[in-house]
Structure 1
Amino acid sequence: MNFFTCVFFGFIVAASGSLSPSFLNLTVVKFSLKSGLKAALFLIGGFATVLFFQANLGAYLSSILMENSEYITLIQQVGTGILLLLSIYFFRLYLTKEKTIKRVEIEKSKAYMHGIGMSLLNMFAIPFYFTAISLLIGLDYFEYSFINALFFSIGSTAGSFTVYATYATIANKIEHRLTVIATKMDLIIGCLTGIVGLANLVYLVWFK
């Protein structure tokens, strides 16, 4: 496989995964409204750093764990627990914080490290990349090798960064229209992580 093919598939897979509502892109919107576009971009930089390694790991696992699905189940179980804890955390933030949005300056390094921390909590990224790459392998669109995985990860990093940066830019441009939503962002993220966590819990208990 050539460089452009691997980068293209990485970009498409990551961009499609980043488009759907998640606590990551909602956090980007919240950060953009609260601390400005520049801080949000450093936050996204933190996301992208971790996503690069998660995509690489997902590609590696796809070549090994096709016949060991119990490990994927374990990752899902851990991820479900983290999502439920995040839901409780964001509900607590919503109930204890003021219901008005105030601009708060944040250092670039803190925004970047916050992005790394949040992305590390996204336990479903690795299973997502594993599933997507396994599908590509099954369709003969991808052949695992260290170089191909590296190129795929570069594309996925670019895809995620592009989508998240778009979220941040749009949120910053239409800030005045998002005032009411912005004050309830922690509640929205808490509901989203809670619903996904509970749905995964039901799946693991009744369908596994």
Structure 2
Amino acid sequence: MIFFTCLLLGFIIAASGSIVPSFLNLTVVKFSLKSGRKSALYLIGGFATVLFFQANIGAYLSSVLMKNSEYISTIQKIGTGILFLVSIHFFRLHFTLKKQKIKTEIKKSKAYFHGIGMSLLNTFAIPFYFTAISFLIGLDYFEYSFLNSFYFSIGSTFGSFILYAIYATVASRIEHKLTFIATKMDFILGCLTGVVAMGNLIYLI
């Protein structure tokens, strides 16, 4: 029963996070259109491989901090600084995006490793899982253990893979919508992370 519960929780949380438009979704759509659905699935496999470990790390960090609340203040200070840096990074991407050259098409044989590289650049994955699992622990829906974290990560891997596979399948229908959102995504993320960082700073002061 615990296996299916953790599996389901991981699937739902990962699917919820993956459905939000991001540079990973856009990459899947563009790759599917250029190289075909099969190559896109290899790319998604790379995404899912990294997400499996990111979910495990997020689960471990949430369990440690929930049991050692005295470290939360220090983590908040470090996190606030990181949020400011991330906000600046997104604004830089937004204002320099038009100057960047169009990337060349990636060979099918490199799709999986390209997916791993792109997923490693996804700086929000671990904080996302950390926040989600901390919330579940607070509601007594999840109790951390190695096996529970492993089951949860399996579910999150399937959830992410299936959602990204759907993006690859319907790529031609959603390309323009995602492209429009993606052009504004860096600016939106910069604003959001900046606001959260300012809120944390005011709270700490």
TM range (shorter): 0.7 to 0.9
C-alpha separation between the residues in 1 aligned to 2:30 and 2:90?
16
2:67 pairs with 1:74: no
Q: Is the 8 A contact 2:54 2:125 kept in 1?
A: yes
Q: Structure 2 vs 1, CA of residues 54 and 105 (structure 1 numbering), >3 Å: closer, same or farther?
A: closer
Q: Does 1:85 align with 2:86?
A: no
TM-score, normalised by the number of residues in structure 2: 0.82
User: Structure 1 93/205 Cα, relative in aligned 2: closer, same or farther at 3 Å?
Assistant: closer
For the residue of structure 2 that corresponds to 1:20, the secondary structure is coil
For the 8 Å contact 1:91–1:190, the answer to whether it is kept is no
- The 5 A counterparts of 1:14-163 are 14-66=14-66, 67=69, 68-69=71-72, 70-71=74-75, 74-75=78-79, 77-78=81-82, 81-82=85-86, 84-85=88-89, 88-89=92-93, 92=96, 94-97=98-101, 104=105, 106-108=107-109, 110-163=110-163
8 Å contact 1:84–1:193 — kept in the other structure?
A: no
User: TM-score if structure 1 supplies the norm length?
Assistant: 0.81
* Distance in 2 of aligned mates of 1:40 and 1:87: 29
CA distance in 2, matches of 1:76, 1:151: 31
1:34 shift after superposition: 2.4
Aligned-residue RMSD, C-alpha = 2.8
Q: Closer, same or farther in 2 for the Cα pair 1:6/1:22, shift >3 Å?
A: same
| Deviation sequence 1:83-139 (CA, Å, 0-9, x none) | 6536645765544546xxx9x46133x221221122111111111111111111122
In structure 2, stretches of 5+ residues that fail to align are: none
Distance in 2 (CA, whole Å) between partners of 1:24 and 1:73 is 29
Report the residue type matching 1:107 in the other structure.
K
1:58 and 1:76, CA in 2 relative to 1: closer, same or farther beyond 3 A? farther
Structure 1: which 5+ residue stretches go unaligned?
none
Counting matched residue pairs gives 197
SS of 1:64's equivalent in the other structure is helix
Deviation at 1:203, TM superposition (A): 2.1
Contact 1:76 1:123 in 2 (8 A): no
